[in-house]
Amino acid sequence: MTAHRELRGDVAVLVPAAGLGVRLGPGGPKALRLLGGEPLLVHAVRRLSEAPCVGCVVVAAPADGVEAVQRLLEAYDVTVVAGGATRQASVAAALAAVPAGFEIVLVHDAARALAPAGLFERVAGAVRGGHGAVVPVLPVVDTIKQVDAAGAVLGTVDRSGLRAVQTPQGFRREVLVAAHAAAVDEHTDDAGMAEKLGIEVHTVAGDELALKITRPLDLALAELLIKATED
């Protein structure tokens, strides 16, 4: 059994990764797609485990894949729980497994496998600094058009006020608990649920390395990035 590097921080990180079967390898579920020979989930957990602020990691795996994901992550100090039918349910299941004493909770998507440890520090630092909810953002580089159902352009959106949101998103624990307790609709991110509660969401600078690896081109770019950053 590989020795765990002990986590010593006071921040818990939730990694919903239950939107997948347990198939490994290219073409399989997204969080288990191989990048440089390792599943995205392993890349994500390795990088976030390097952040000194992190003291607890909870991964939500598919209900029938908890043991497989535990084996995959046996070199890391993580708790693996069964996720739910939706991302939101998986985050709630992971949140329920965070031990008492962790007052800052970050939620991270395994598909942002190259998010560096420094980004976790930055988001956690802003929560520690007094913000109830924090998201890392990047400026939007493309021109954004509003279109109708037929694809005709209705107008051009002023992009100066737009930001693309990444993960990890950070919360005071009680904010995330309240957001999940109050959520009635499905949300694509956790900050959206906090917004619904009227909580002010603070932004910090994101990181281009935290790109969401979704399309084949993203995977190709990520392969180049790990070569460039790990050489």
Binding residues for ligand C5P (CB under 6 A): 16-20, 31, 60, 83-87, 90, 109-111
C-alpha 223: how far from its chain's center?
Answer: 19
* Closer CB to ligand C5P, 19 or 131, in the complex: 19
Least distance in angstroms from the C-beta of 129 to ligand C5P:
27
b (16+ CB within 10 A) / e for 144-178 = eeeeeeeeeeeeeeeeeeeeebbbbbbbbbebbbb
* Closer CB to ligand C5P, 172 or 187, in the complex: 187
Least distance in angstroms from the C-beta of 108 to ligand C5P:
9
Least distance in angstroms from the C-beta of 28 to ligand C5P:
12
- Read out DSSP for 62-108? -GGGHHHHHHHTTTS--EEEE--SSHHHHHHHHHHTSPTT--EEEE-
Least distance in angstroms from the C-beta of 121 to ligand C5P:
22
Please report how many Cα atoms fall inside a 13 Å half-sphere around the Cα of residue 132, on the Cβ side.
16
* Closer CB to ligand C5P, 103 or 219, in the complex: 219
Residue 180: how many CB atoms within 10 A of its CB? 18
Residue nearest to ligand C5P (CB): 19
Please report how many Cα atoms fall inside a 13 Å half-sphere around the Cα of residue 214, on the Cβ side.
4
The encoded tokens of residue 95 equal 């949140």
Least distance in angstroms from the C-beta of 20 to ligand C5P:
5
The encoded tokens of residue 74 equal 């046996």
* Closer CB to ligand C5P, 9 or 65, in the complex: 65
* Closer CB to ligand C5P, 71 or 215, in the complex: 215
